[in-house]
Chains A and B, each alone.
Chain A
Amino acid sequence: QKEVEQNSGPLSVPEGAIASLNCTYSDRGSQSFFWYRQYSGKSPELIMSIYSNGDKEDGRFTAQLNKASQYVSLLIRDSQPSDSATYLCAAGSARQLTFGSGTQLTVLP
């Protein structure tokens, strides 16, 4: 059974702080890793993808992948109230993706 584990939270950070979201996965065959953001009552939207070990930065977002530790993380710098959402980690191959249950993030003004 392929599993992706996330701390469900809720995680609260003050505005301007760094939010750190973590995820572990069980399938060593996973080749692709993603972070989706889901606002309450809305559909998930892709914010980051990462395919190789190391860091990948996109604006205020940095994804980190460590395949040896089966660990993926997302850092959000200068957090804004608009970042308040549930963040879903996903891992998989070309055909199938397994999602974690999500971490609820609240950024306090």
Chain B
Amino acid sequence: EAQVTQNPRYLITVTGKKLTVTCSQNMNHEYMSWYRQDPGLGLRQIYYSMNVEVTDKGDVPEGYKVSRKEKRNFPLILESPSPNQTSLYFCASSPAMANTGELFFGEGSRLTVL
């Protein structure tokens, strides 16, 4: 089954404790992206990757890191989480380099930072 898989789905952590949210897709998509979704603010892009070893900042990259060492994986790293990073996070991938807005989303990871 074609899918984007995120882990963990739910996480409660404390300020400053490094965490990684993994994202893996089995569709051989070149484009991958991370979004956060907050009430009233919609989906905001954190980072995106056009291909292996190619990443770039989205609209809200502060406090996050990403890496793209393999085509299928695009982990999101919070080196020192803070309460303002409490949010619902979505990983997404796209098959079309020219139309990367045709996104397939993972199920989401709800993160709470205390």
A: residues with CB less than 8 A from B are 4, 8, 32-34, 36, 42-46, 49, 51, 88, 90, 92, 94-102
Known contacts A43-B90, A44-B90; A99/B42 CB under 8 A: yes
Known contacts A32-B99, A44-B90, A88-B42; A96/B107 CB under 8 A: no
Chain B neighbourhood of A99, CB < 8 A: 35, 42-44
Q: Most chain-B CB neighbours within 10 Å: which of A33, A43, A51?
A: A43
Q: Are B43 and A94 interface neighbours, CB within 8 A?
A: no
A92 to chain B, nearest CB (A): 6
Chain A neighbourhood of B56, CB < 8 A: 95
What is the interface residue range for chain B against chain A? Answer: 20 to 34
**Could you say which of A33, A42, A94, A100 contacts B42, with CB atoms under 8 Å apart?**
A100
Chain A neighbourhood of B81, CB < 8 A: none
Known contacts A94-B98, A95-B56, A96-B48; A46/B42 CB under 8 A: no
Interface contact tally, CB-CB below 8 A? 59
**Could you say which of A42, A49, A88 contacts B99, with CB atoms under 8 Å apart?**
A49
Q: Are A51 and B42 interface neighbours, CB within 8 A?
A: no
**Could you say which of A36, A45, A46, A96 contacts B58, with CB atoms under 8 Å apart?**
A96
Closest A residue to B90 by beta carbon equals A43
Closest B residue to A32 by beta carbon equals B101
Known contacts A100-B42, A101-B41; A43/B99 CB under 8 A: no
Chain A neighbourhood of B50, CB < 8 A: 95
B108 within 8 A of A: yes
* 8 smallest beta-carbon distances between A and B, as pairs: A101-B42, A43-B105, A99-B43, A99-B42, A97-B101, A32-B101, A34-B101, A44-B105
Chain A neighbourhood of B108, CB < 8 A: 42-43
Known contacts A44-B43, A99-B42; A94/B97 CB under 8 A: yes
B23 to chain A, nearest CB (A): 12
Known contacts A43-B90, A43-B108; A97/B103 CB under 8 A: yes
